[in-house]
Amino acid sequence: MAYLRYSADIEHPADDEQKSIDGIIKGMTAQSQTVEKREHHAVRASDAKSSTCVIGELVIAEGLPPELAQGLFATPGGYKVAVRFAQGPGETLDDRVSTHRGMSVKVFGVEGEKLPSHAGDTQDFVFATGTNFPSGAAAGFLRDGTVIGGATGQPEGVKSAVAATARGFNKVLHAFGTESAKVDFFGHPFSHPLHESYFSQVPMRYGDYVAKLGLVPAAPAQLALADRRLDPHEAVYDLKAQLWADADAQPIEDSSVDWPVTMRPYRTVATLRLPQQASYSPARVKFFDDVMSFRPAHSLTSHRPLGSVMRARLQVYAALSVFRHRENGIVAIEPASVDQIPA
């Protein structure tokens, strides 16, 4: 199979992109201020409410073909990881409001050249439910963020009603064999977080190539969680890469376009194992939620984020992290190993 190679000229920023990014930072900071006044605590402007905070291991597969044995995945072996599951919105909503979910992975002991803003030996991957990011580009991110920001101050009952309406519309779309990332954003079906699949949604450099990543449940116990009745002893995910092969069908700059799996499927490159553990002690949750950050900028150069949404995230995540830590009077820590994470 033929795959397109990464080069420095595959990105094409819009002329006014920085203006959009500045607007995103301003709008999401204002949203965070609204939430802080209500909750008396600054939380993440997205993925605010964690549901599980765990440590585990990422095992790189042996015998990968050359196009998949790239960057972090070039050499077989195991890495310790910290993984945070969370609701998508930037406020701690109660369980009546069903929304998309996020999953952030911090890989420890990663050696190699990092992005200029990152000095630690860690690699972060940020995932969410849904295979594409509905906003498309930074300008769309700003537009959609304005809508979400306006809903932030609404009562819980209003948000619950909106989520219920969106879930109903979601079911209708699925019945006709289609779906909408924006509808799912506001009305994701009720589900167990360990039963979900999670995706990078936007592309990144993949060594000599370009890819999107996905985490797909692999343990039988997780698959049985569709009815939310079973608590598995261990959660296992296949980490898969979908390589870039067609610049038109798989655009770099417009993340709202789903890369067709019929053209290039997701292929397994590693296994993520999360053993049974006490995952929600107060000390651990505080460390994950208030002290530690997960950012696309915490990256090897070989996995540099690509496209308009990712370029925005490089600045937005940093600005909002500074705001959150400053408001809470907490020093941000980029842990060097899982040993720094409380039990």
How far is it, in rounded angstroms, from Cα 86 to Cα 145? 19
| Beta strands 267-275; 234-243: pairing state | antiparallel
Does some domain include residue 330? yes
Select from 334, 302, 338, 300 the least CA-distant residue to 318: 334
Range of the domain at 283: 17-246+253-298+310-340
Q: At CA 294, angle to CA 240 and CA 162, rounded to 5? A: 85
Alpha carbon of residue 113 to chain centroid: 22
CA distances from 148 to 89, 99, 162 (A): 9, 12, 12
Does some domain include residue 6? no
Give the pLDDT score at 316: 97
Does some domain include residue 234? yes
> Radius of gyration (Cα) for the chain, nearest Å?
19
Place of tokens 């409380």: 342
Q: What is the CATH number of the domain that holds 84?
A: 2.40.180.10
Does some domain include residue 8? no
Does some domain include residue 86? yes
Cα within 13 Å of Cα(31), Cβ side: 27
Does some domain include residue 154? yes
* pTM reported for the whole predicted model: 0.88
Does some domain include residue 56? yes
Does some domain include residue 305? no
Domains of the chain: total: 1
> With helix as H, strand as E and coil as C, how does 94-134 read?
CCCCCCCEEEEEEEECCCCCECCCCCCCEEEEEEECCCCCC
Q: What is the pLDDT along the chain (343 residues), one digit of tens a residue?
A: 689 999 999 999 999 999 999 999 999 999 999 999 999 999 999 999 999 999 999 999 999 999 999 999 999 999 999 999 998 778 877 665 667 889 999 999 999 999 999 999 999 999 999 999 999 999 999 998 776 655 555 555 434 444 444 444 444 334 445 555 554 555 556 678 888 999 999 999 999 999 999 999 998 888 777 665 545 579 999 999 999 999 999 999 999 999 999 989 999 999 999 999 999 999 999 999 999 999 999 999 999 999 999 999 999 999 999 999 999 999 999 999 999 999 9
How far is it, in rounded angstroms, from Cα 240 to Cα 73? 11
